[in-house]
């Protein structure tokens, strides 16, 4: 990716070139720690080795039995779904099998989705590292039951991606299901470039080797200076701005195909960095749509935001027809791409004029290589931010607390977290 920090230099809050040069010494130290973690395949840091360690042949073998599916349905939540969804939405083609994701347990949505799918031509991909994730297993049981009701042998339409132990691993062994391992030492939100994120891309026919090549190029480009490494430029500047009060990060891609990428980024940033009273709250936006819904706040609201503007340098374009309508003739002869680029640059200038920090991130195109690079570099940016902030980037204790509370409420064991639900203060207005 290509990163332009210019709009963060003369902003409020903002950073200076001199402050970034001072910060670069800390980046060099953090880079040494990251490289040591990678060499030793330590928990979390192992995610940055995935371009070398992911087994693409295993992925292809696991999905090979499913010939000519109409759809693939992934049952997973959070990192078990968002990476795959990012690739599916960014690379989608009308000729691909449709990709769907059950990452919530809303009963109306689940029922409507299952009623709309050709279950006899749908591949079911169940993803849970532990094999015990309540939401994932509940949805799986519902889907399995729907397949049985439709006269479909679910064992012929299902593969699982899971750890070495747990319910899903036992299920795969019992029914001889194709299966993929969740890589050791890789938290779910960092698993997009692994078996977890790439199996759906394989079913849809996307080039896994090129995705990996993009990630490998990004990995090879990591160095000890933010001025030489786009990933570190982004992560270090976001960290510096957060320390100066920019405690929100609005991720705003100017490409419909990257809207799910903003969701993926939100989990990566929030779950990794929200620790010890620190972190930067991610917000999701879409250019140019949210210029008409959120930009007012970004420009004129509290000075607590960084806006990250993302766009591809190349895209398929479409001409705007000539018109003689009053006030619209200027549009004729240009294209939708020209208009979207003008909106991007106008938003960037608008933020700069009001002193709001922004970072421009550009990728070559929305394709396999650029996506592999973009996701890898955002992961590296996140890890660097965590090192600079001295937070435990790869844990998620608050999430685990909620899981235990929910399990206790459903009768899945005695958990003191569940008891806290009864202690909640309420003030009901009806």
Under 8 Å between Cβ of 306 and 238: yes
What CA–CA distance (Å, rounded) separates 195 from 202?
A: 10
Tokens of 69: 């599916």
Q: Could you read off the pLDDT of 184-217 as tens digits, one per residue? A: 999 999 999 999 999 999 999 999 999 999 999 9
Measured in degrees and rounded to the nearest 5, phi and psi for residue 425 equal -75, 140
Tokens of 99: 């990709």
pLDDT of residue 65: 94
> In this structure, are strands 358-363 and 2-4 parallel, antiparallel, or unpaired?
antiparallel
Average pLDDT over residues 25-35: 98
Q: Could you read off the pLDDT of 165-180 as tens digits, one per residue? A: 988 999 999 999 999 9
Q: State CA 69 to chain mean position distance.
A: 25
First-to-final CA distance of the chain:
51
Tokens of 385: 């931010």
Does residue 406 surpass a pLDDT of 80?
A: no
| Cβ atoms within 10 Å, residue 184 | 12
Average pLDDT over residues 259-266: 98
Under 8 Å between Cβ of 348 and 309: yes
Which active-site residues does the annotation give?
271, 292, 403
What CA–CA distance (Å, rounded) separates 118 from 292?
A: 38
- Strand, helix or coil for residue 358: strand
What CA–CA distance (Å, rounded) separates 216 from 214?
A: 5
Q: Which residues pair with 252 in a beta bridge?
A: 309
Does residue 381 surpass a pLDDT of 90?
A: yes
Under 8 Å between Cβ of 363 and 348: no
Contacts of 23 (CB under 8 A, 6+ apart): 226, 236, 239, 240, 388
| Cβ atoms within 10 Å, residue 153 | 10
Give the residue ranges of DSSP H helices in 10-77. 17-39, 50-53, 56-63
What radius of gyration, in Å, describes the C-alpha atoms of the chain? 23
What CA–CA distance (Å, rounded) separates 104 from 121?
A: 23
Burial of 220 by CB count in 10 Å (0-12 exposed, 13-18 middle, 19+ buried)?
exposed
pLDDT of residue 418: 67
Does residue 227 surpass a pLDDT of 80?
A: yes
Strand 98-102's sheet: what is its strand order?
A: 98-102, 71-75, 122-128, 158-162, 179-181
Burial of 183 by CB count in 10 Å (0-12 exposed, 13-18 middle, 19+ buried)?
buried
Q: Could you read off the pLDDT of 146-165 as tens digits, one per residue? A: 999 999 999 999 999 999 99
Assign 5 a pLDDT band (cuts: 50, 70, 90). very high
Give the residue ranges of DSSP H helices in 74-185. 82-91, 107-116, 134-149, 167-175
Closest CA to 74 of 281, 83, 151, 398: 83
What CA–CA distance (Å, rounded) separates 112 from 142?
A: 12
pLDDT of residue 73: 98
Does residue 410 surpass a pLDDT of 70?
A: no
pLDDT of residue 426: 80
pLDDT of residue 393: 98
The percentage of residues in the chain with a pLDDT greater than 90, rounded to a whole number, is 86
Under 8 Å between Cβ of 279 and 266: no
Q: CA triplet 60, 61, 66: central angle to 5 degrees?
A: 85
- Note every long-range contact of 178-184, with CB atoms under 8 Å and residues 24 or more positions apart, other chains counting: 178/61, 178/62, 178/63, 178/65, 179/62, 180/58, 180/59, 180/62, 181/58, 182/127, 182/129, 183/46, 183/50, 183/53, 183/54, 184/46
pLDDT of residue 407: 63
- Strand, helix or coil for residue 342: helix
Half-sphere exposure for 236 (CA within 13 Å, toward CB): 29
């Amino acid at each position: 990716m290509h990163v332009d920090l210019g709009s963060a230099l003369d902003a409020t809050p903002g950073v200076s070139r001199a402050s970034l040069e001072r910060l670069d010494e800390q980046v060099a130290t953090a880079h040494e720690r990251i490289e040591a973690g990678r060499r030793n395949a330590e928990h979390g840091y192992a995610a940055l080795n995935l371009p070398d360690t992911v087994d693409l042949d295993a992925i292809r073998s696991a999905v090979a039995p499913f010939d000519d599916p109409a759809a693939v349905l992934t049952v997973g939540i959070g990192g078990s779904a968002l990476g795959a969804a990012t690739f599916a939405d960014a690379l989608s083609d009308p000729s691909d099998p449709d990709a769907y994701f059950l990452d919530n347990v809303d009963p109306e949505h689940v029922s409507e989705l299952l009623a709309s799918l050709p279950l006899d031509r749908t591949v079911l991909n169940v993803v849970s590292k532990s094999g015990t994730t309540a939401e994932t297993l509940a949805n799986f049981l519902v889907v399995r039951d729907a397949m049985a009701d439709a006269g479909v042998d679910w064992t012929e339409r299902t593969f699982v991606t899971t750890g070495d132990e747990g319910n899903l691993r036992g299920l795969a062994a019992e029914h001889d299901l194709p299966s993929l391992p969740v890589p050791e030492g890789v938290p779910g939100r960092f698993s997009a470039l692994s078996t977890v994120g790439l199996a759906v891309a394989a079913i849809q026919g996307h080039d896994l080797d090129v995705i990996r090549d993009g990630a490998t190029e990004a990995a090879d480009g990591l160095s000890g200076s933010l001025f030489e490494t786009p990933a570190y430029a982004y992560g270090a500047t976001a960290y510096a701005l957060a320390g100066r009060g920019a405690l929100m990060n609005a991720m705003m891609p100017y490409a419909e195909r990257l809207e799910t990428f903003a969701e993926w980024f939100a989990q990566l940033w929030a779950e990794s960095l929200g620790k010890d009273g620190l972190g930067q709250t991610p917000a999701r936006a879409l250019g140019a749509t949210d210029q008409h819904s959120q930009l007012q706040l970004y420009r004129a609201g509290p000075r607590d935001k960084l806006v990250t503007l993302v766009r591809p340098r190349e895209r398929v374009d479409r001409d705007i027809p000539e018109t003689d309508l009053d006030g619209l003739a200027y549009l004729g002869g240009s294209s939708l791409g020209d208009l979207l680029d003008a909106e991007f640059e106008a938003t960037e200038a608008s933020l700069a004029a009001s002193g709001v920090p922004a970072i421009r991130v550009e990728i070559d195109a929305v394709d396999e290589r650029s996506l592999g690079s973009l996701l890898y570099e955002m992961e590296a940016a996140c890890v660097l931010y965590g090192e600079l902030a001295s937070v435990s980037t790869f844990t998620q204790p608050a999430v685990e607390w909620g899981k235990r509370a929910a399990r206790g409420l459903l009768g899945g064991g005695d958990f003191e977290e569940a008891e806290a639900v009864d202690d909640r203060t309420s003030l009901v207005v009806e």
